Structure formats: structure tokens, C-alpha cells
Amino acid sequence: MRGWISVDRRFFVPSQEFEPAYMALFRSGELHQRAEQAVQQLADCHVCPRDCGVNRLEDRKAACRSGRYAVVASAFPHFGEEDCLRGWRGSGTIFFSWCNLRCVFCQNFDVSQEGEGQVVSPDELAAMMLSLQAAGCHNINFVTPEHVVPQVLEALVIAVEHGLRLPLVYNTSAYDSLESLRLLDGVVDIYMPDFKFWDSRLSLRYLRAKDYPEVARRVIKEMHRQVGALKFDEFGLAKRGVLVRHLVMPGFLDETRRILTFLAEEVSPDTYVNIMDQYYPAGRVSDRQYPEMNRHLTSEEHVEALRIAREVGLWRLDERAPRRPWLVWAPAT
């Protein structure tokens, strides 16, 4: 049975008219040029705001602990993402190992801070993208790519040459450099930053990056400049735009208010936001370390976060509907 959804025409892209952004750059030859430029920048690495300046072309490593090639923990069709990404065939997630942040509460600590995964060549990374496309995934979802933008672009050229045609999701902590985002302008279809903390003191304590809030504000504005508000096709699948995630932290609703106010007033009230309630103690959080965060988020806190979002003017809030298939139906096959 073919289904349908009610779509605001301002945020609608017919599926038959959609083409991934990178195709125009590929046809002009610019995608290849950007990939070459990005790889050369690894010789004096400023791929992320850490600005380590090490020569990663010689496989030297610093803050992100990644050298010449990316490390991948897993690649699979993911059905746990937002409905507009997972659809009915999954989001084609590629989880990169290591991270340029040190979130003490990270729920993927073994991947982000212990480096679980395998080093992959550009050909191998391209093959992962093509395999996910062959599996029927709706998009290619790069998870924690902030420190491997050159490697992603290098592999993307190969993947497109061999038939990749899926939209790209850039799934980031929002600790990105503007230089990396400039390389991605016209390449990425969907930016998905997670804005974690507003206060620099809290960011230093919990993320080990005092400048995180400033960086996040800057790059989210740039992402919105590039792709605008999130748009969907007739089946409710995200095609292009910004989807902001905010993981609500226990006891930090003041941070939530500041972040959501920024999105409404300085980005756009049309910003599509997923206000997440998935926080639980993980990583280094315990009664001995960071005891103030050693509890689950309460339902009352999450409800209050949603109320704040509406109060400050945000109205496009993500809602999960696993048992309401009429919101996103598969086309007839």
C-alpha cells in the first residue's frame, strides 16, 4: 500500500526532483579538487578547532588520535535514528572511531575515546558507502566525522564514480572548523549537529573544550547558511537542511533554554530540533566522578525542555512514531 504524509510546502522536496548536492560538484570536477585540497591540509592539520598542526600525512596523531586514514567502528543500516532519516530501510550509518571532544558522559566511550575500530583506506570507505546504498538505506550518515573530513571527501569521490547517489548526513558534535565546513559546502545535504552545552565552564568540565559553545554557535549558523531549514519528500524522508539535536542533561535546563533560544532567535524559528531524553550515566560518570550527572534524566525535565522550546518560538520538534506508520509510509514496491 502506498502511503502519504501532510507536508508543509515550504519544507518540501519531491523525491523525483531531488539530486544529492555533491553531484553538481562531481560533474564540474570541483569535488575531486576539494578532496585533493583537503588531504593536503592533513600535512598541517587544522581540520577541527583543536588546531593541532601535526602532519597526519605522515600518520602522526594528536588530539583526535587519527592519522592518515580514518578508523571506522561500524557501518550498518541504523533504525534508531530519527524517523525522517531511518525511514523503512534504515539510515546508512558509518561510525568513525575517536573524537575531538572528551565528553565524560559519552555513551559510546569505547569508540570515541578508546578507538575501537579498524583503519580503512579510501577505497574501503567508499565500498562501505556503496554497500549501504545497495542494502537500500535512504542516506549515508557519517557519525563523528569532525576529524576525518579529508578522508570522507577522498572516499566520496571514489564512491560517486562507482554510482553513489544517496543524500549525505553529517552527524556531528558541532565541534567543527569553518574551514572543514567550507570544503563541505555543496557536498553535504543534511547537517545534524548536537549542541550540548552553552556555558564555557561547563564545556571545559564535561567536554574538555572550553571554546565548544562559541564554535557550536558559529558552525550551526554556517550549516544553516549552506542548506537552510530541513526539507522532506512526500514520504517524510529528510532530503536537505539542518536537523539540530540537543541532548537534555539532568539538572541543566538553564543550558537547554539558552541553546533553544539561540536556535529560535539567531538561526531560525523554523529550525528542526530533536530534543533528546536519552541521557543516562555512562563513560566516566559515577558517584566518585561527576556525581551531579550520575542519574537519568526525568520525564518532567524532558517535558519542561519541550515546553521551553515552544515558549521561545521553535515549533518543528522531532517526534518518534514507531507505532504510527501513517506518518512515514514506504512507497509501493
Mean pLDDT, the chain, integer:
94
| DSSP letter, residue 265 | I
Residue 228 near residue 256 (C-beta atoms within 8 A) = no
Does the structural domain 9-319 have CATH classification 3.20.20.70?
Answer: yes
Maximal C-alpha separation, the chain:
56
3-state secondary structure of 18: coil
Q: What is the rounded average pLDDT of the residues 150-169?
A: 98
94-131 residue pLDDT tens: 999 999 999 999 999 999 999 999 999 999 999 999 99
Q: Which three cell numbers stand for residue 166?
A: 544517496
Strands 140-143 and 91-96: parallel
* Per-residue pLDDT tens digits for 286-317: 999 999 999 999 999 999 999 999 999 999 99
Q: Which helix (H) or strand (E) holds 30?
A: helix 30-40
Closest CA to 78 of 156, 135, 149: 135
- pLDDT tens readout for residues 214-228: 999 999 999 999 999
Q: Is the pTM of this model over 0.85?
A: yes
**For residue 8, what pLDDT is reported?**
82
Q: What percent of the chain stands above pLDDT 70? A: 94
Given a contact cutoff of 8 angstroms between Cβ atoms, the answer to whether 145 and 128 are in contact is no
| Residue ranges of domains in the chain | 9-319
